[in-house]
Structure 1
Amino acid sequence: MDLPQRMDPPPQVIELDGLTPRRFNGEEDLPELFRVIEESLEHLRPWVRWVAEHSMDRTASFLASRSERWADGRDFSYAIVLDGAIVGADRLFRLGTALTADAPSGRGPGRRRDTMRAGAGRGNGGVQQ
């Protein structure tokens, strides 16, 4: 079986008119990411299975693995920041997960995935010119 070739690293920050995907900052992001998930558990429960196993330790483990996975080209995960606050997470080429139930419609991470992809130099991502 042929494994996919390693991608060149994308930008660490992508500016998208108020919505800013940025590379996770490890332990610095832990309190805010954990709080956002905690506040959004009921919203997330129908959509993501990992919510059943959500804990501070699992969130810390997720964040701790981001740096290594970014460095070796396996995973380019981003914190999705809106108005200075984390509202979600995304990976390039994957559908994003809006963590906050009140994320503005049409401005959430899933909606902006293609724009993020284009901003990272991964093709036009379906963005209309």
Structure 2
Amino acid sequence: MIRPSPMLTGDVVVLRRLRPDEVEALVRVVEEAVPHLRPWMAWAAGEFDPDSVREHVAETEAKWEAGTEFTYAITVGGKIAGRIGLMSRVGEGGLEIGYWLHPAHVGIGAATESTSLLVKAAFELPGIEFVDIVHDTANVRSEAIPRKLGFTEISRTSPPQEPITSGEDGVDVRWRLTRDEFHQNAP
């Protein structure tokens, strides 16, 4: 089974698989980021439980090994700044990208560069014909990323695919980039 590279390097970020000895560092990053993420991320909307981060890491490692999802630590300057992943929940031939950042790293291009690296990695996988990004209409920061990377808005749906959080208005915007579009726009 072909998987993406376990490390992807950009100008600002390095995406890499989380090492077992970094789980506690990720827990600390999530603890600090939860107030920033709570309005947008269903998993952060409730009470924060460090054990849930540990469970998430174990689940993502199992999914990586199974070849169904590929989750990376977003690192800036060698430190964990967030997470990004390719998820197989959009049907055959497609992957969805999901991401979050610690607030100290918002606005420096880390999410956009991370997404760009993951799009390229997705289209290096056989059988992947499209990549989707989904966000709530109220999350304008998340909207900027697919727009900047050449994705096309393909739908708005309600109810959303995940529970509505305090910052959201309950309408999911789905963006898509196809393999052909990616190769037509590649430098």
- Which stretch of the first structure deviates more once superposed, 47-56 or 36-45? 47-56
Partner of residue 84, structure 2: 90
The higher-RCO structure (CA 8 Å, 6+ apart) is 1
Partner of residue 103, structure 1: 105
Counterparts of 1:1-129 in structure 2, within 5 Å, are: 8-25=2-19, 27-51=20-44, 52-92=46-86, 93-98=96-101, 100-109=102-111, 111-112=112-113, 113-119=115-121, 121=124, 124=182, 128-129=186-187
Which protein shows a greater Rg? 2
> 1:126/1:103 Cα in 2 relative to 1: closer, same or farther (>3 Å)?
farther
> 1:119/1:68 Cα in 2 relative to 1: closer, same or farther (>3 Å)?
closer
CA RMSD of aligned residues (A): 2.2
The one-letter code of the counterpart of 1:43 is H
Q: TM-score if structure 1 supplies the norm length?
A: 0.80
Unaligned runs of 5+ in 1: 1-6
Q: How many residues align?
A: 120
Unaligned runs of 5+ in 2: 87-95, 126-178
Q: 1:89 Cα shift?
A: 0.4
User: Which consecutive segments of 4 or more residues in structure 1 shift more than 6 A?
Assistant: none
Structure number with the higher strand fraction is 2
